[in-house]
Amino acid sequence: MTLVKTLLDIPELRLRLRTGSALLDREVSRIYVTELPDPSRYVSAGEVVLTGLLWWRSPGDAEPFVSALAKAGVAALAASGADTGGIPEDVLTSCARHRIPLIEVPADLSFAVVTERVVLALAAGRGREPGGARKRLLSAAGAPLPDLLRQGAEELGTACWVVSATGRLVAGTAPAPPEATWFVPGRDAAVHGGFTLLPVGGRFAVPWVLAVRGTEPGELAEELAGLLGLARARADQVRRSDNRMAEPLFQALETGTGDVVSAAVAAGLREPARVVLLRTPGEETGLDSELLAELVEPAAAVPAGRIGRDACALVPDDEHWPEDWTGRTRAALSNVDSVIGFSRAFVGLGGPVALDGLGGAVQEARYALELAARRGERISVVAGADIPVHRLLVAGTPDELRRSVRDRILGPLLAYDTAQGTDLVRTVRLYLECSSSPTAAAKALHVHVNTLRYRIARASELLGADLTDFATQVDVYLALQA
């Protein structure tokens, strides 16, 4: 049995009790991390709720949060004041009023460390028999996730899989059965299609699920799901450390200065390479980076970083890169949206290029991303390779130069249309898009072919150029695109 006071005695956590000294004999069932202003749908009796107080904005915010914990019967609230300048006074007051022990977590202590130590304390307090399954599972707690999953499957005597909300198979102890339909349940275990699905814990925007073949795996499966959450948290810490190592590369790509090739080689990127940009407007900070890390796994060689306001990943174009990446990415984002819901998500893809072409691939990905954002769809994925070259060239031209080119080449035509109320600009555009075929253009405009020829001749006079000349056609069409 693990009590609240047991957690206070863990020396490396340096937890400090702020209120509720008479309530420390409450039994702890598990730990749950949340930053929701109203966690009432997700908390349950016996939990220690861990929070960074990101939901707290002003005095008065604590009352609905703490009252929800009290109504659920949680064992204690553990809070870090790192982002609020300490524990707010109304949080202390509300916890005292609702008889919730309040534990202060040191500002310099990672939540992953807190979660890991609490889970281990809970495992130690369950009275496992010497040499039993739980003891063997606990002994593998520090192993990489695939090794831990294999140990868990061995102790459970059945196959297990870990699946992301994107639909990605993170790890498995057997080939995924074709009849299995994976989905991410809520906070509690669920049974679906002959599998038990348990949420893998952790403070992550994109959830994972542990799928165990069978419908009654028992308490050991829940313990495995908790340990898998710790393994994910450790891997995430490594990823964040790697992200910092790659920052010089992303900074060079964003500013256009510095030796991009040397920075890419130092970061371990191989050529040819692709650039992936992801934007989730209006969503919480960090969702885009976590989503992108899921979408490019296992292809990414360089951890995700940022270029401007967008999350960015650099990926070698090798055997790990799927042929239908845009379609798969669109499906993966739809899967996540059905689980956690978000307002919008846009992805742009540039490349493949050699390392000395990364700057251009970033520009290509940026234009593809902006095009995805303008499509009016909630989820949109665009690859630069699917965009006509002339559009990419025009998109990379500064606005002032585009306006200058448009006015210089098309000025007389635009002025004529304005003065006469005609639409010769549209006629010229359709004529060029119909491969300079008078017959095809006339059909598209629903006019006689002689009328079309007259209009093109008039437009040529106004432009001072021959619209049947190929070089002139290229110049005019680029000006129309600008």
pLDDT at 131 (0 to 100): 47
Burial readout 146-178 (b: 16 or more C-beta within 10 A, e: otherwise)? eebbbbbbebbebbbbbbbbbbbebbbbeeeee
pLDDT tens readout for residues 298-348? 665 566 788 888 889 888 888 778 888 888 899 889 888 888 888 889 999
pLDDT at 98 (0 to 100): 95
Region 224-231 average pLDDT: 88
How far is the C-alpha of 114 from the C-alpha of 250, rounded, in Å?
32
pLDDT at 184 (0 to 100): 53
pLDDT tens readout for residues 91-109? 999 999 999 999 999 998 8
pLDDT at 42 (0 to 100): 82
Q: How confident is the model at residue 129 (pLDDT cuts 50, 70, 90)?
A: very low
For the purposes of burial, counting CB atoms within 10 Å of the CB of 190, is it exposed (0-12), middle (13-18) or buried (19 or more)?
middle
Backbone angles phi, psi at 194, to 5 degrees: 85, 10
Structure-block tokens of residue 87: 């524990």
Contacts 24+ apart (CB under 8 A), 54-57: 54/83, 56/84, 56/88, 56/91
Higher-pLDDT residue of 206, 240 = 206
In this structure, the dihedral spanned by the alpha carbons of residues 366, 371, 375 and 377, taken in order and rounded to 10 degrees, is -20
> What percent of the chain shows pLDDT beyond 90?
21
Query: Considering the chain, what is the average pLDDT of its residues?
Result: 84
pLDDT at 189 (0 to 100): 63
pLDDT at 186 (0 to 100): 55
Task: Using the predicted structure, report yes or no on whether residue 373 has a pLDDT greater than 70.
Answer: yes
- The answer to which of 68-72, 278-282, 297-301, 417-421 has the lowest mean pLDDT is 297-301
What pTM was computed for the model? 0.61
Q: How confident is the model at residue 47 (pLDDT cuts 50, 70, 90)?
A: very high
pLDDT at 76 (0 to 100): 96
Q: How confident is the model at residue 130 (pLDDT cuts 50, 70, 90)?
A: very low
Residues 6+ apart with CB under 8 A from 450: none
Q: How confident is the model at residue 180 (pLDDT cuts 50, 70, 90)?
A: low
Q: How many residues are given for the chain?
A: 482
Q: Backbone dihedral region of 194: left (phi > 0), alpha (psi from -120 to 50 degrees) or beta?
A: left
Strand pairing category for 47-51 and 76-80 = parallel
